[in-house]
Amino acid sequence: MSKILVGFDFSTGSAYAVDLAIDIANRYKCDLRLVYVKEKDQEEGPIREEIERRNAGVAHLLKGIKLEYVIREGKVSQELCAQAKEDDAILIIVGTHGMSGFEKNWIGRNTYRTIAESEVPVLTIREDFNFNKNLDRIVVPLDSTADTRQKVPHAARMAKLFGSELHILGLYTSENKSIKHIVDGYVRMVDNYLTKAEVEHVCKCVDVPKNLTVTTLDYADEVNADLIVIMTEQESSLASFLLGTYAQQMLTMSHRPILSIRPEQVNGLAK
């Protein structure tokens, strides 16, 4: 059975990530594994005791699935991604820092690296997000790039499982009529796809006055969205992977959960 992984470090953010992960795993009927990445000289005994204590506290929430854990050693992003390969994971969930004080625009290097290196979608959740509401509305921004529609099957699958409404947001990044025509065409294709899949949805196209990220987040605020689905727009630079500017800004500025999908990730959640 494929698994959903949660990066766990005893922080408030990772505890929230576990709560949401259990809900998602129950709906996907996937087993769940917590991944704790320890430092070289850190003793495993106390870590195991605390994880097992916490797991016992949420065992009653599991609906026919298993909650397991593993302790690894090394760089957090590398170990999470390695475990995802070993487990044939369909999703990695990580909690991030809240938006208080100097951390307002910082989600952590490990989170960025995990998203950039992961071969499966990564869901990031801020510890200050309101978890007392259902996953009612999911925003899926579309632009004129060739990869933009690849995130739609993932979003549609999640929407059907949660009974969510998809908000397809066509973004006009230029006044050029040919660019707008491409966006309009993509939105129509997605509209047809979701209609046939019987996924509740609405479509809207808007001009982007200045910043793509701000326009997307403003719309998410307008509809009180619970999740935003984006592509990572990965580029290679020297020996490392960098997230595209839009993805970086979305992850930095959004207080809402973000599901990040690499181009060509056509498996996993879309199954």
Give the tens place of pLDDT for each residue, 19-72.
Answer: 889 999 999 999 999 999 998 888 999 999 999 999 999 999 999 999 999 999
What is the number of residues in the chain? 271
Task: Please give the full DSSP string across 18-63, using - where no structure is assigned.
Answer: HHHHHHHHHHHT-EEEEEEEE-TT--HHHHHHHHHHHHHHHGGG-S
Could you give the 3-state DSSP secondary structure of residue 229?
A: strand
Domain check: are 42 and 104 in the same one?
yes
Domain check: are 105 and 161 in the same one?
no
- H helices present in 94-198, as ranges: 109-117, 152-162, 177-196
Instruction: Give whichever of 104-113, 178-187, 243-252 has the largest mean pLDDT.
Output: 178-187
Give bridge partners of residue 91 from the DSSP assignment: 4
How far is residue 79 CA from its own chain's centroid?
18
Is residue 207 in a domain?
yes
Is residue 117 in a domain?
yes
Is residue 132 in a domain?
no
Residue 15 is part of which domain span?
3-126
Whether the per-residue pLDDT at 103 is higher than 60: the answer is: no
Q: Which of 100, 126, 152 is the last residue of a domain?
A: 126
Domain check: are 167 and 212 in the same one?
yes
Kindly state the tokens that stand for 67: 């909650």
Domain check: are 145 and 232 in the same one?
yes
